């Protein structure tokens, strides 16, 4: 699913109107109908009052339609009409259509005292959406502050009012508890800095023209900002397994992980390699890790380093279909040389994580040695060490894209909505995963999953998109069963089976 800018979304609306020979009012009706359906799912009790705060653009127009539709479902709904500017045509029409419906409408004009809102009411925020042209200021900014200070539950129509859809946040913004985003996702939904403003968000879909078919009109195509990975597409990318396949078919993965005190990273990553479906796994570990590995993970083969505590000399790499390097390896001088040697000798895409990333950050000349199309999986701090600090999320995505393209790498930036930048210049966002996965070892599990997918012959971009999705979905399924608090990395790994099953459905 494409992520469009506000301007592209406007063009897509127009393209939909032309292609389907509908009016803009009918399109607004579609959007508001879908919103109302989602809203009533969240708030099934019609006795709970709903106050819709409407602006004068089409976001306000959506709000007016939502009020009318909620009223027809017997909700106790009223409207606060903020007279911000000139009403859009569809706003005007829908304002007229409120008459005679028995809906209380309170007008709010600059300078008016703030309207009282009962604390149990759900506030529907329809002041501004994607048409925001500048930071909100003056009286309307104070209205936003007033709404934010209320104890009420706030549901944003499309976006929290005041949120910049395509760039860093400027100015005041409604703090939504729930955002029901209309039609297609906007980039702002994925920015970690916007988490508090958006609350939980959901996409509310309704029939819109396909932006890929209409991209000349929408001004998109390669210029689309990004893509949100969805199950329907990813499910189709899973490889089939055939009766005569065997462990050789599914690849032999090699993992360089663990050191004295961090052998758990090797165990978790190793399990994930095989649970993701690789046929064979060899782990390179320091001598002191040998018993730990063999006992806790008998399915793995071990190559033991000459050093007792660290990996220092890594032998022949020719036999392996994929390599994962980094979890728990530390940054000892001899390990740095071992990493350098692996990077310079291996010629196929590999997975580089954790300490291997920190080693590369400390020795930038290593970046050029990384085999083309390899996967780098930094979290934001590691990303900053590698590629420098950025001012905001949007700038970081830009840098992520540039460095992926320039170096021919797949860069997996691990955030709430992990982003994947490809050598071809695309940016994908992942929708699965939950805060319960912020626990030790889940990153090692991801390294394992990605290494396991590469071993099975998935191309690196598909491996990244699938691996991040499956890892997050396994975490979601585990959290559903066990709670977010309880979650351990091994729970994520042990739910990979269910995640595969669900994705194949």
Q: Interface with ligand LZDS7PUF by CB under 6 A: which residues?
A: 9, 13, 27-28, 31, 55-62, 84-85, 88, 128-136, 140, 157-158, 182-183, 208
Classified as helix, coil or strand, 81 is strand
Give kind and range of the element (H or E) at residue 154: strand 153-157
Dump strand ranges (E) for 291-332. Answer: 301-304, 322-325
Report the residue count for the chain.
Answer: 505
Give kind and range of the element (H or E) at residue 344: helix 333-345
Instruction: Say which entry of K ion, ligand LZDS7PUF, none residue 28 contacts (CB below 5 to 8 A, set by partner kind).
Output: ligand LZDS7PUF
CA-nearest of 401, 441, 443, 446 to 424 is 401
Question: Residue with CB nearest K ion?
Answer: 161
Which single residue is written with the structure tokens 């320091």? 286
Q: How far is the C-alpha of 267 from the C-alpha of 471, rounded, in Å?
A: 16
In the chain, % helix, strand, coil (3-state, to 5) comes to: 45, 15, 40
The answer to whether 452 is annotated as binding is no
197 binds K ion (CB under 5 A): no
Q: How far is the C-alpha of 225 from the C-alpha of 230, rounded, in Å?
A: 16
* Interacting positions 108-137 with K ion (CB under 5 A): 125, 129
Instruction: Say which entry of K ion, ligand LZDS7PUF, none residue 156 contacts (CB below 5 to 8 A, set by partner kind).
Output: K ion
Nearer to ligand LZDS7PUF, 188 or 473 (CB): 188
Strands 427-429 and 226-228: parallel
Nearer to ligand LZDS7PUF, 204 or 503 (CB): 204
Q: In angstroms, what is the minimal distance from the CB of 184 to ligand LZDS7PUF?
A: 7
Q: In angstroms, what is the minimal distance from the CB of 73 to K ion?
A: 21
156 binds K ion (CB under 5 A): yes
Q: Tokens representing 431?
A: 């929708």
The answer to whether 194 is annotated as binding is no
Nearer to K ion, 55 or 324 (CB): 55
Nearer to ligand LZDS7PUF, 157 or 466 (CB): 157
Q: How far is the C-alpha of 503 from the C-alpha of 350, rounded, in Å?
A: 24
Q: Are 266 and 257 in contact (CB under 8 A)?
A: yes
Nearer to ligand LZDS7PUF, 165 or 442 (CB): 165
Q: In angstroms, what is the minimal distance from the CB of 229 to ligand LZDS7PUF?
A: 21
Residue ranges of the annotated binding site are 58-62, 125, 129-135, 158, 161, 265, 328, 379, 414-418, 443-444
Name the site residues for K ion (rule: CB under 5 A).
59, 125, 129, 156-157, 161
């Amino acid at each position: 699913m494409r992520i469009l800018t506000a301007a592209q979304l406007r063009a897509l609306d127009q393209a939909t109107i032309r292609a389907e020979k509908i009016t803009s009012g009918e399109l607004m009706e579609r959007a508001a109908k879908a919103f109302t359906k989602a809203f009533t799912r969240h708030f099934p009790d019609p006795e709970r009052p709903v106050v819709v705060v409407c602006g004068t653009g089409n976001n306000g127009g959506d709000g007016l339609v939502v009020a009318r539709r909620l009223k027809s479902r017997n909700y106790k709904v009223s409207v606060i009409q903020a007279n911000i500017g000139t009403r859009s045509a569809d706003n005007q029409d829908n304002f007229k259509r409120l008459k005679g419906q028995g809906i209380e409408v309170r007008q709010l004009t600059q300078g008016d005292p703030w309207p009282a809102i009962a604390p149990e009411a759900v506030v529907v925020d329809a002041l501004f959406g994607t048409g925001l042209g500048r930071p909100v200021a003056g009286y309307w900014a104070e209205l936003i502050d007033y709404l934010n200070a209320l104890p009420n539950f706030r549901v944003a129509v499309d976006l929290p009012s005041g949120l910049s859809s395509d760039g860093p946040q400027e100015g005041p913004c409604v703090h939504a508890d729930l955002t029901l985003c209309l039609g297609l996702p906007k980039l702002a939904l994925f920015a970690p800095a916007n988490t508090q403003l958006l609350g939980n968000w959901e996409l509310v879909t309704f029939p819109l023209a396909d932006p890929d078919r209409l991209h000349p009109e929408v001004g998109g195509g390669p210029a689309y900002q990004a893509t949100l990975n969805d199950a329907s597409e990813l499910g189709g990318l899973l490889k089939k397994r055939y009766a005569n396949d065997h462990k050789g078919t599914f690849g032999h993965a090699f993992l360089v992980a663990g050191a004295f005190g961090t052998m758990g990273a090797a165990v978790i990553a190793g399990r994930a390699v095989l649970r993701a479906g690789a046929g064979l796994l060899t782990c390179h570990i320091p001598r002191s890790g040998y018993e730990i590995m063999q006992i806790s993970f008998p399915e793995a083969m071990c190559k033991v380093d000459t050093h007792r505590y660290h990996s220092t000399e890594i032998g022949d790499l020719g036999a392996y279909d994929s390599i994962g390097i980094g979890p728990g390896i530390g940054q000892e001088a001899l390990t740095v040389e071992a990493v350098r040697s692996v990077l310079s000798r291996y010629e196929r895409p590999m997975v580089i994580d954790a300490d291997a990333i920190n080693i590369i950050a400390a020795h930038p000349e290593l970046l050029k040695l990384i085999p083309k199309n390899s996967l780098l999986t930094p979290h934001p701090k590691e990303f900053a060490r590698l590629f420098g600090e950025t001012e905001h999320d949007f700038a970081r995505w830009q840098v992520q894209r540039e460095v992926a393209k320039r170096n021919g790498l797949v860069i997996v930036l691990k955030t709430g909505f992990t982003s994947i930048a490809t050598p071809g210049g695309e940016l994908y966002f992942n929708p699965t995963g939950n805060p319960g996965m912020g626990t030790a070892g889940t990153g090692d599990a991801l390294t394992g999953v990605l290494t396991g997918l590469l071993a099975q012959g998935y191309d690196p971009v598909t491996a990244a998109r699938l691996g991040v999705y499956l890892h997050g979905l396994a975490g979601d399924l585990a959290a559903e069963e066990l709670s977010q608090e309880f979650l351990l990395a091994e729970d994520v790994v042990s739910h990979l089976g269910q995640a595969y099953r669900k994705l194949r459905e």
